[in-house]
Amino acid sequence: MSTDNSVERLLASYEAQTFSALSELQRKLIAAMDQRETMGGIQQLGKIAKEYKQTNKSNNETLALLSGVTSNTISTMTSDPTNSKVSTVLALLDAMGMTLTISRKSADE
């Protein structure tokens, strides 16, 4: 019986440690998901692309290769994104590791 009790205690300890580790991992995952950063509206696309290029030591040609969009299109799109196709904006955002989010306007917009 002593061996059975030892095994039961070891299993209980293992389950408690596993539950604790999973709970901590879940907490960290939820915190990471809540840290999505909103970069701004479509008018900010040029600024966002410029910051991305500076941070990643990149240029329009690199973004063109990554996105499948021409360098000229990227240049035009970042200077006046309001006339860009959604598919083009999505391709550029994807190349920069970003996504498009649609949200309601705030009362002051």
pLDDT for res 29 = 67
Domain contains 107: no
Q: How far apart are CA 87 and CA 72, in angstroms?
A: 16
80 three-state secondary structure: coil
For residue range 12-54, what is the model confidence (pLDDT) as tens digits? 888 888 877 777 777 776 666 566 667 778 888 999 999 999 9
Distance CA 76, CA 92 (A): 12
Angle at 97 between CA 81 and CA 40, to 5 degrees: 45
On whether residue 101 sits in a domain, the answer given is no
Q: What is the pLDDT of residues 55-92, one digit of tens each?
A: 999 999 999 999 999 999 999 998 988 888 999 999 99
Dist. CA 87–CA 69, nearest whole Å: 10
| Structural domain range at position 90 | 42-95
Question: How many structural domains is the chain composed of?
Answer: 2
- Three-state secondary structure call for residue 21: helix
Distance in angstroms (rounded) separating the CA atoms of residues 5 and 2: 5
16 falls within a domain: yes
Q: Is residue 79 part of a domain?
A: yes
**Per-residue confidence (pLDDT) for residue 4, from 0 to 100:** 78
Residues 48 and 28 in one domain: no
Distance of CA 21 to the CA centre of its chain: 25
pLDDT of amino acid 20: 79
